[in-house]
């Protein structure tokens, strides 16, 4: 289940990037701030998707070492990509990104309010 969920999440995210005419490549300059789809729940759904795929593969293969690498993956992604990407997004989109950042959590979705 996590494997398929991760793949679907990645497909949805990549589709949004394509429709917004911008690249998901962390090294590229963003042309648009994507805040719909999975991005309305968390700011890093692509990295979450890859984490779900890794976790799903670990379960499928019954690999404790692969599952043990998951927190290391998340820490490395956070340190090397997320911090830098957030800085770039704030510089590029200013107040629009700051408002988005205030309402959407980085990793774990909040429980919807009424």
Query: What is the tens place of the pLDDT at every residue in 15-37?
Result: 999 999 999 998 888 999 999 99
Q: For residues 50 and 5, what is the distance between their CA atoms, to the nearest angstrom?
A: 10
pLDDT of the residue at 27: 86
pLDDT of the residue at 111: 73
pTM here is 0.89
Q: For residues 71 and 65, what is the distance between their CA atoms, to the nearest angstrom?
A: 11
pLDDT of the residue at 74: 94
């Amino acid at each position: 289940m996590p494997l398929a969920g991760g793949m679907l999440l990645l497909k949805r995210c990549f589709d949004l990037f394509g429709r917004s005419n911008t690249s998901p490549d962390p090294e590229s300059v963003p042309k648009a701030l994507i805040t719909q789809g999975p991005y309305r729940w968390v700011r890093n759904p692509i990295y979450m998707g890859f984490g779900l795929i890794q976790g799903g593969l670990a379960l499928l293969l019954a690999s404790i070492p692969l599952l043990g690498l998951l927190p290391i993956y998340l820490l490395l992604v956070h340190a090397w990509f997320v911090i830098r990407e957030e800085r770039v997004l704030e510089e590029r989109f200013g107040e629009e990104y700051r408002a988005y950042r205030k309402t959407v959590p980085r990793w774990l979705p909040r429980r919807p309010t009424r």
